[in-house]
Structure formats: structure tokens, C-alpha cells
Amino acid sequence: MNEQQQSLILESSSRFLPPQGVKLSYGTAGFRADASLLQSTVYRVGILAALRSLKTQSVIGVMITASHNKVSDNGVKIADPNGGMLSQHWEPFADALANAPSPQELIQLINEFVKKEGIQFDGVKHAEILLGRDTRPSGEALLEAAKEGVASIVGAVAMDLGILTTPQLHWMVWARNKGMKASEQDYVEQLSSSFRCLMDLIPSQRSKFDGTNDKLVVDGANGVGGLKLKVLEKLLNGLLIEVRNSSEDGGVLNEGVGADYVQKEKVAPHGFGSSDAGIRCASLDGDADRLVYFTVNPESSGAIDLVDGDKILSLFALFIREQLSILNEREGTKNNHQARLGIVQTAYANGASTNYLKQLGLEINLTPTGVKYLHEKAAEFDIGIYFEANGHGTILFSESFVGWLEATTNELSARSKGSDAEKAALRLLATSRLINQAVGDALSGVLLVEVILQHMGWSIHRWNELYHDLPSRQLKVKVADRTAVITTNAETVVVSPPGLQEAINNETGKYSQGRCFVRPSGTEDVVRVYAEASSQEAADSLANSVAKLVDQFLG
């Protein structure tokens, strides 16, 4: 860096000194902490984003959010050129940057990194950063800190896009780097037009919903998702949405509401009760990157029948498989393409969902826990579908397959317009444009669920009957050193300490439909235990027995 660049960083960073005794780490979700501790970190992430933009010569995104965390928390993360998460290669630099104790050490760290990465400050290359934030009260001040961080790099320009869902910001970065129009209005128009296209392609012989299923009621977690869904809903035909717990309704973000609360507690969110029994309901999380469905149980106060991310994945897989099957059966089309469809899960996916998908003849792939692993694996297929039980996931279409679909629809339109094969190809194309190609997106996800249910002629109850989850239990075991546990095979097998996996196997073998694995937490000194069995009592017993084994081997 030249003297002008160094003095710019020194001058601005002296106003953003890190809090004493706080060490932050850039994980899957970026940096998260109490909002009062984050100003220095967000400022430095602004610098990081500008450097990443210079390195990649692409538009980079910075999102101020703490997703499903409590309202007093906040966080910041980077969207890479493909709209996905920051390259893992840069995560250690992010950690070091956030924790550098003084402006002088910050300058030294940046100097060493830009030299190693070959980043040039030549005044010719420019950096462009898109900034977004959720509805948290702390977001505005933190976004200003990010702006200052970006401005401290010569040639870097920040564009403040205001209040957005996290997936909207990721989509805009992805679209900009593909040379597409990338405003919030462009996002809304792409989703609504793709939805309408899929609605128009619903087979006329499919039965319609009965009266109780005409409406979808959505819990917006008192966050940004409900706000944006109201904007989107105005452009939709054939779907009636009632939004509750939107950010302007006066409730507290993520408090007794939201996808994380509903999925973990298995109870109805605030504002839902017995009068909603039988109605199709959905819940978004605070920044609208997670989605779960549920119905309120009329027989028990607050109890629900949960339709989680595993079932969303199954619904999507059925629909995609049906369209591919129609395409594969057609005759006389040039360049016949047998698309490779891959399903990606982690070991936390309920065993009943994995068994169901296997029975459909689908290819199942397990990855370690974490969206970055799921997304990376899904990108290896022509069509890759991944979802976690918590409701975060998407469908990825390869560029080559989308190109083939476009050519195929043109050919079929010319030769056999209105054929089943042409409709199947058009459905797949519309799906690739409706579902977010950058990241899990509750808004695009809810629209795809809704149109597929109408395509199938299914109620939520019919959907929920695809399979029945095996009872499960998750526990945490406090340990002195979680790194003593080393796993392999997508975290399902313990290789260290020696003997622990054999002991787990012996214990698991005592239970009907038993399955159990342990893995070290990525954030705290605990080992996580997951167990399944044919009854809740058995799952609890297996989890407790294995927790004792962990304590015994690591004690």
C-alpha cells in the first residue's frame, strides 16, 4: 500500500477501536455478537469487502444481520461474487482483521495480506460494494461503519440498498456479476413472473384445494420478511397470503415468533391459535433465509404439526423428478440430456426423510454440517437440492443445464408446441428463475412450495403424510477440549478418541431403528449428540447413554 492509502486507513480506523477482551470469529453466519460490540468489526468488514472486490474484480455484498438471533444482537457477513458466502480461504484473514488490537497492527496485517494475494492499489481498478441491513434498530449505525470501512480503500464505492432480506442482497450480488438488472424491483419482478409462469403450467386436470386451504398465513418473525412478502404478494395471482408478525406490527424481532422458534420448540408462534386450525401456515426467520410450514393442532393449546426443511426438500425433489421423467420419456429431441439430480443433506436430516428419498431412487449425498458444505456439493450436479431441517436451503441449476433447457424449449416449441415435454422443460426453466440461485431464500421458497402444492393438488396434510419422522433427541455435553473429538464420513463416524465409535455402535445396536452420531461444536466447548429411534423414549435413552459415553471418554 502507498502512503496515501495507509494514512486513510490509519485515520479512519482510529475512530473504530475494537472492544477490550472480545474475540470474534467469522463462521458460516459471519460475525455475530451483541450489537454494542460490533462497530469496529463492521468497519473492518467494509475494508475486507473492498479488498475482496479488488481481488476478484467483481461486485461484493455486505449484509448487516443476525438472522434468527435476539433483537439486541447483530452481525455482518460478506456475499462473494457468486452470491454465496465468503471464500473459506479468506476466513482466517477476516478473523485476524476483526481482532487486530490497534490501527498500526491493522495496517501491518493488511499490508502482508495484499502482498500475498497480489492485490493492486493502482488507482485504475475499482471496488464496488452493495450494502444491506435487516430491521434491527442497531443496523443503521453499523451500516454507516461499513460505509466508512469501504471508503477507507482508495477507489472503493459503497451502494446503500437500505432494508433488505439477506437473500435479496445475495441475489443482487449474484445478478450484478452476471450482468443482469439487480435492483430490489428486478428481484420482485423475476420471482412474480416465474411464479405466474408455473401457475399457468399447472395441469388442468389437477384437483383444486378445498376451502380450508385457499389461504396461506405467514409468520414474518417481526422482521423484514413479512414486509417484503407484502410487496411481492401484490404481483401474484392465484395465491392469497395473510402476513402476521411483520416488522411494522410492533412485535419484538424473533421473540416467540419465527422459523427457528417454531422448528425448535414445535409450537405455534405468537399471533396464531386454535382459530387457525387446519389452515396452511408458514414461518420465516428474522432475515427471511429460513422457511418452515406448520398447521395448528386444534386439540392442544399451541401444539403444531411441523413441516420442516426435510419435507420441503422432499416436495421439491418429487416435483423436479416428475419434470425430468417427462423430459426423458420424450422422443425425437436432439441432444438428449440425462440430467443428474443430486440430493444433499447432513447427518441431522431425519432418517425417515433420507429413507423416503432413497426409495424414490434419488442420489443422496451427505456433507458435514454447514450451509457452505451443502451448497458446494449441490453445485456439482445439473440440479442439486439441499435443505437443512431448520428450513435453510435451495435448488441449484448448473449453467450448462439451464442452457440446454433453453435450447430444448425452443426446439420443442417449434416442433411440438403444447406437448408435455415442452411444459416440463418450461417448468424447470421457471423453477430455476424462481428459486434463489445464490442462497436459501424463504420468499422464493414459499412461492415454489405454494405452486407445487397447487400443481400436485395437495393440501398441507397430504404433503405432511409423505413420511413420518423418526423420534429424535439432541443433547450437548460440556467438555474441556472439543477438538479431542475428530470425525469423518460427514461427521457420522468418530476416529478419535479411539474406542468411542465402537462404544456408540454397541449402544445404538440395542435400539430399533437406532441411529446416533456425535460431533464437536464449531462455536463452543461442547460435543453435540444426535440420536434417533423408533420411539421418543428410546431416542431419549440412546442420546443419554451416548452422552455418558462422551463424558467417559473425554473426562
Q: At residue 360, does pLDDT exceed 70?
A: yes
Give the tens place of pLDDT for each residue, 169-216: 999 999 999 999 999 999 999 999 999 999 999 998 765 554 445 799
Instruction: State the average pLDDT over residues 339-345.
Output: 97
534 is catalytic: no
CATH number for the domain running over 3-163 = 3.40.120.10
| Rounded Cα gap, residues 230 and 313, in angstroms | 25
Contact in structure between 379 and 386 (CB atoms under 8 Å): no
Instruction: State the average pLDDT over residues 71-81.
Output: 97
Strand partners, 277: none
In this structure, the strands spanning 291-296 and 280-284 are antiparallel
Q: At residue 490, does pLDDT exceed 50?
A: yes
Q: Give domain 310-464's CATH architecture.
A: 3-Layer(aba) Sandwich (3.40)
Q: Please state, for a pLDDT cut of 70, what percent of the chain lies above it.
A: 96
Q: Please state, for a pLDDT cut of 90, what percent of the chain lies above it.
A: 86
Q: At residue 100, does pLDDT exceed 60?
A: yes
How many other CB atoms are there within 10 angstroms of residue 206's CB atom?
Answer: 11
- Looking at residue 214, its pLDDT comes to 73
Q: At residue 123, does pLDDT exceed 90?
A: no
Report which of residues 423 and 330 the model is more confident about: 423
Is the Cα dihedral 367, 74, 221, 238 positive or negative? Answer: negative
Kindly list the domain boundaries of the chain, sorted by start residue: 3-163, 211-305, 310-464, 472-554
Here the cell at position 331 is 422422443
Give the tens place of pLDDT for each residue, 364-414: 999 999 898 999 999 999 999 999 999 999 999 999 999 999 999 999 988
Residue list, annotated binding site for substrate: 388-390, 519-523, 528
- Looking at residue 336, its pLDDT comes to 59
Q: At residue 357, does pLDDT exceed 90?
A: yes
Instruction: State the average pLDDT over residues 436-455.
Output: 97
In this structure, the strands spanning 59-64 and 472-478 are unpaired
- Looking at residue 524, its pLDDT comes to 78
Give the tens place of pLDDT for each residue, 270-289: 999 989 998 999 999 999 99
Place of cell 402444492: 453
What is the arrangement of strands in the sheet containing 280-284, beginning at the earlier edge strand?
240-246, 215-223, 280-284, 291-296, 304-307
| Rounded Cα gap, residues 75 and 339, in angstroms | 39
State the DSSP code for 510.
T
459: which residues sit within 8 A by CB, 6+ positions away?
209, 210, 212, 213, 280, 453
Q: At residue 332, does pLDDT exceed 90?
A: no
H helix intervals, 57-131: 91-99, 103-117
**Active-site position among 67, 138, 247, 545:** 67
Instruction: State the average pLDDT over residues 501-525.
Output: 93
In this structure, the strands spanning 486-488 and 493-496 are antiparallel
Q: Do 3-163 and 310-464 share a fold?
A: yes
H helix intervals, 61-102: 91-99
Instruction: State the average pLDDT over residues 93-103.
Output: 96
State the DSSP code for 183.
S
Average pLDDT, the chain: 93
Residue list, annotated binding site for Mg(2+): 67, 285, 287, 289
Let me know the angle formed at the C-alpha of 76 by 36 and 82, rounded to the nearest 5 degrees.
175
Q: Give domain 472-554's CATH architecture.
A: 2-Layer Sandwich (3.30)
List the single range of 330-334, 375-379, 403-407, 497-501 with lowest mean pLDDT: 330-334
- Looking at residue 300, its pLDDT comes to 67
- Looking at 3.20.20.10, 3.40.109.10, 3.30.70.890, 3.40.120.10, the CATH number of the domain 211-305 comes to 3.40.120.10
Residue in 219, 222, 262, 221 with CA at minimum distance from that of residue 241: 219
Residue list, annotated binding site: 67, 285, 287, 289, 388-390, 519-523, 528
* SS3 of 127-164: EEEEEEECCCCCHHHHHHHHHHHHHCCCCEEEEEEEEC
